[in-house]
Amino acid sequence: GAVVSQHPSRVICKSGTSVKIECRSLDFQATTMFWYRQFPKQSLMLMATSNEGSKATYEQGVEKDKFLINHASLTLSTLTVTSAHPEDSSFYICSARRPDTDTQYFGPGTRLTVL
Amino acid sequence: GQQLNQSPQSMFIQEGEDVSMNCTSSSIFNTWLWYKQDPGEGPVLLIALYKAGELTSNGRLTAQFGITRKDSFLNISASIPSDVGIYFCAGQSNAGNNRKLIWGLGTSLAVNP
């Protein structure tokens, strides 16, 4: 297996503030990480692909200025939700692709609530 | 976006029963993956399949990569209460550096002790 951590696990913020979520691969180096959003009782929706040392690739309909992604090292990617609004409240999950098995391992998720 | 056809959508079974779920796709994949997600947690990888026809076991779980590369199934034998959760299939092609996962909609499993 592999271990991917996410921090924080839960965050409550006021509307208009920005929130940063960290994703770390703890036992392997990941050139590629992914950020997902999941609504209740639904599957995971890919937001963006984060490549170390280059700009993230965003899925259609995802605002890159709203969801800032930085992948500055082979073990860390961050997602910043800027000027958060209540409709941004969701469960955000990251994953890291293990290069030797070409398989994605997921973090435990971050529950964001915007008041 | 594209999604896989995963069935059944939900299952309610008695402890000790066997479970079977499957996924089909209109396009071929090079990798099939099965994940389990508990409430409030991220998905946990159960089984990864890399070759058409491959049959792989992980304890009481068995999964197969279909010969056509367009389908996969997951079996759980002798279910126990901790098998409760949502099971997702995912397919991955080898095209491009990003190699996104295409997801099924999930099978919700409930086990009656």
Residue B45 and residue A103: Cβ atoms within 8 Å? yes
Query: Residues of A numbered 7-36 whose beta carbons fall under 8 angstroms of chain B's beta carbons: which are they?
Result: 32, 34
Q: How far is CA B33 from the centre of its chain?
A: 6
The set of residues, in sequence order, having a beta carbon less than 8 Å from that of A109 and lying 6+ positions away, is: A6, A9, A38, A91, A92, A93, B40, B41, B42
Q: Note down pLDDT in tens along chain B; length 113 residues.
A: 678 999 999 999 999 999 999 999 999 999 999 999 999 999 999 999 999 999 999 999 999 999 999 999 999 999 999 999 999 999 998 766 557 899 999 999 999 98
Q: Which residues of A touch B97 (CB under 8 A)?
A: 32, 51
| A113 vs B: CB within 8 A | no
Peptide bond before A8: cis, by omega within 30 degrees of 0? yes
- Residue of B4, B75, B3 whose CA lies nearest to B46: B75
Contact of B98 with chain A, judged by CB distance below 8 Å, is answered with: yes
pLDDT (tens digit, 9 = 90+) per residue, A17-66? 999 999 999 999 998 999 999 998 899 999 999 988 888 999 999 999 99
List the single best residue of B46, B87, B89, B99 to mutate versus A (max A Cβ within 10 A): B99
Identity of the amino acid at A5: S
For residue A101, what pLDDT band results from cuts at 50, 70 and 90?
confident
Q: Which residue of B has its CA nearest to A93?
A: B42
Nearest to A19 by CA among A32, A10, A27: A10
Test A49 with B3 for CB contact under 8 angstroms: no
Shortest distance between the Cα of B60 and any Cα of chain A, in A, equals 17
